[in-house]
Structure 1
Amino acid sequence: MTRWGITIPFTGMPLAAHRELVEELPDLGYTDVWSAETAGTDAFSPLLLASQWAPQLRLGTAIVPVYTRGPGLLAMSAATLAECAPGRFVLGIGTSSPVIVQGWNAAEFAEPFGRTRDTLRFLRAALAGQKVTEDYPTFSVSKFRLERPPEQAPPIMLAALRPGMLKLAAREADGAITNWLSPADVRTVRSVIGPDLELAARIFVCPTEDAESARALGRLLISSYLTVPVYAEFHNWLGREEVLAPMHALWAAGDRKAANEVIPDEVVDDLIVHGSPAACREKIQSYVDNGLTTPVIALLPTGDDPAEQVRALAPRR
C-alpha cells in the first residue's frame, strides 16, 4: 500500500464536526482526503479545513467541473488551497455532467473534451504565475494574472472515463481520475494511460455484512449514475453493454423500479465494495493490485457510525 484515500465530508456528519476524525486519519494510515462537488459542499472548503487539521494529508478535488467557475476563479480557488497546503494539494478537474452544469448551474455543457483541454492549459499557465492572454478554442482570457500565485503549482489531474480523455490525461496532465469501475476494469484503463501515470479512483464502499441491503443501495446508485450517457458509454467500452441493456431499456421507458431490479448481483458486486471491514479492505487492495495508484473510499451510509467505519476501513500497517 502506498496511498489510501477517503472522501470527505461524510454523510450525516456536520462539516465542523469532522475535525477530530480528520486529525486522526494519518495515524490510522490514510494518506489522502479527496472531495467532490455536486450539490453538497463545494470541493475546496472541506479540504481547506483539512489542510489545517491534518497537515500530513495530501488533499485532492475529485472533481471540480470546468464549467461552473470561470477560468480565473478556478485558478484563484486552486491557488488559495495550494498556498494553505504547499506541496500537498492536487487539483482534479473534469467535465461533470449536463444535469450539474446546465440544470443546476445555468451553464452551457458544450465541447467537453475541448473545454477540459483548454482549462488544463490555462491553469498550467495561470498557476505558474504567468499573465495569460489567449484565445483558446472554447473560451478566451485577456490579461489574467494571479495576484497570489502559489510558490509550488499543484499537480493537475483529469477526470477521464474513455480513451480520448484518458489519452489527454496521459499527454498533458499529472494523472487521471476515474470511478465506477471494478478491480479488473483498472487493467483496461491502464492499457490506455500506460504504467506510470497516477491513477486515482473513487471506490464506493458499503461496510455491512447485510449483502441484500448493500446491493439494494448499490442498485439505486448504479441506475442513477450509469444511465447518464457518459457513464453508459464508459461501461459499454468496459464490456457491460449487453448485461446493462435491460436496465437502460426500462429506465428509458420510465420504469425506475424495474430498472433497478434487473441489475444483476454480479454487476453490483463488481462495482460496490461491501462486506465486513476486512473483506472491504481486501477488495480495495485488489484495485491497487490491478494497477490503481490511489484508491479513494467513498463511504456509503449504512446507519452505523461513520467515524467507526472509517477507523475499521483503515489499511493494515
Structure 2
Amino acid sequence: MTSETSDVHARFGTIGIWSGALHPADPGRRGEVSEAVAELDELGYGTLWIGGSPSMEEVVPVVDATRRITVATGILSIWQHSAADVAEQIARIEKRHPGRFVLGIGVSHDALTPQYARPYSEMVAYLDALDAASDPVPAARRVLAALGPKMLKLSAARAAGAHPYLVTAEHTAQARATLGPDALLAPELKVVLDTDLDRARTVARETLSMYLQLPNYTSNLLRLGFEEADFTGGGSNRLLDALFALGDLDTARARVDAYRAAGADHVALQVLTADPHSDLPRAEWRELAAAFSLGRP
C-alpha cells in the first residue's frame, strides 16, 4: 500500500453516509442540503457519498459546505461526463479543498444508459483519459463501482479500491479476496431504523423493487446463491435480511460489524425513509453517529 493510498483509506473513516438527496432537483433546497451536510461533518462521519449519479457541478456545493469530511460521488456515470471535464473540475475542487474529494465512477446500467456497450473496456478507456488529462486524477483519488471479479480487479489495479452497491456481507468477503489486502473496500448498506419488522420490510421493498429490474444487480445476486423467486414482490424476506439492516440501532451495528468482519474498510450507510430520494433523515443520522461513537473530541 502506497502512502497516498494509505492516506485515502484513513480519510474515508470506517462509517459514512450515502444519500441520493444531496443534489436536489429543486434549487430552493440547496440551503437545506448545505445545513445537513455541515451537520454530518460535525457528527464525525468519515465520508459523505453523493448518491444517484451526481454531476461534478452538484458536488461543489457539498464540498464547500463542509470542512473536514471526505466527499465522494456514489457514483458519477462515465457515460454522462467526459473524463477531461471531470478532471478539470476536480482540479478546481482540489485547489480549494485539498485532499477532500474522491471520484467514484461507474458504468451504470444498460436499461438507464442508451449508449451502454462494452462497459469494462469503456471503463478502462475512461481511466486512461483521467490519467492523460492536463490535471490527472490520481488512482488513489478514485474508486470504482464494482460488483463482478473483472471490475473488482480493475479497482485494485487502477484505483484506490471499490465501492460496491447493493451487496451482502458474503459478497464483501468475496470482493476482499479478489481485491487483495490493500485496496479500499467500501460497500453501501441500506438501513431502515424501525423496530416494526413488517413496516421496515415495506420500506425496504419500495426501494429494492427498482433495483431488481436492473440485471447488473440481479446477476450479482444470482452469483451469490439467490434465486429468481427471491426477486418477486419486491424481494423475499431472505433477500431483504441479507441486503438491509432492518430494526434498531443494535441491528445496524451488528450488520456493519458483519461487513467489517468480511473485509470492508468502510461502510456507507444509506438511511431509507418513505422518500429516500428527497428526505434528509437528520434525526436518524444523529442516532447512528451516537451508536457508532463517531463524535470527535
Asked whether the two chains share a fold, i.e. TM above 0.5, the reply is yes
Aligned to 2:129: 122
What percent identity do the matched residue pairs reach?
27
The match for 1:264 among 226, 230, 236 is: 236
Contact 1:187 1:290 survives alignment (8 Å): yes
Shift of 1:25: 2.2
* AA in 2 matched with 1:73: D
Shift of 1:117: 0.8
Distance 1:150 1:190 in 2: 27
The match for 1:95 among 99, 107, 113 is: 107
Shift of 1:276: 1.4
Aligned to 2:3: none
The match for 1:23 among 38, 46, 60 is: 38
| Distance change (3 Å), C-alpha of 1:152 and 1:165 | closer
Whether 1:3 aligns to 2:10 is no
Aligned to 1:32: 47
Secondary structure, aligned partner of 1:204: strand
The match for 2:154 among 145, 168, 187 is: 168
* AA in 2 matched with 1:198: L
Aligned to 2:228: 245
Whether 1:192 aligns to 2:203 is no
Secondary structure, aligned partner of 2:113: helix
Aligned to 1:84: 96
Aligned to 1:277: 249
| Distance change (3 Å), C-alpha of 1:197 and 1:305 | closer
* AA in 2 matched with 1:159: A
Whether 1:294 aligns to 2:271 is no
* AA in 2 matched with 1:29: G
Distance 2:52 2:207 in 1: 17
115-124 vs 18-27, which moves further: 18-27
Shift of 1:2: 3.8
Unaligned runs of 5+ in 1: 103-107, 130-148, 249-258
TM-score (norm 2): 0.83
| Distance change (3 Å), C-alpha of 1:120 and 1:281 | same
Work out which of the two has the higher radius of gyration on C-alpha atoms and give 1 or 2.
1
Distance 1:86 1:282 in 2: 34
Shift of 1:201: 1.4
Distance 1:169 1:21 in 2: 31
Secondary structure, aligned partner of 2:85: helix
Contact 1:48 1:84 survives alignment (8 Å): no
| Distance change (3 Å), C-alpha of 1:305 and 1:75 | closer
Secondary structure, aligned partner of 2:42: helix
Distance 1:245 1:181 in 2: 16
Shift of 1:57: 0.6
* AA in 2 matched with 1:74: V
The match for 1:316 among 287, 293, 296 is: 293
Shift of 1:46: 4.6
Distance 1:204 1:113 in 2: 26
Secondary structure, aligned partner of 1:179: coil
Aligned to 1:57: 69
Distance 2:280 2:75 in 1: 26
Distance 1:151 1:227 in 2: 33
| Distance change (3 Å), C-alpha of 1:124 and 1:203 | same
Distance 2:246 2:30 in 1: 25
Contact 1:61 1:91 survives alignment (8 Å): yes
Shift of 1:53: 2.1
Contact 2:56 2:86 survives alignment (8 Å): no
TM-score (norm 1): 0.78
Contact 2:139 2:160 survives alignment (8 Å): no
Measured on the aligned residues, the alpha-carbon RMSD in Å equals 2.6
* AA in 2 matched with 1:115: E
Whether 1:205 aligns to 2:191 is yes
Secondary structure, aligned partner of 2:117: coil
Whether 1:75 aligns to 2:87 is yes
Secondary structure, aligned partner of 1:220: helix
Aligned to 2:143: 157
Contact 1:220 1:260 survives alignment (8 Å): no
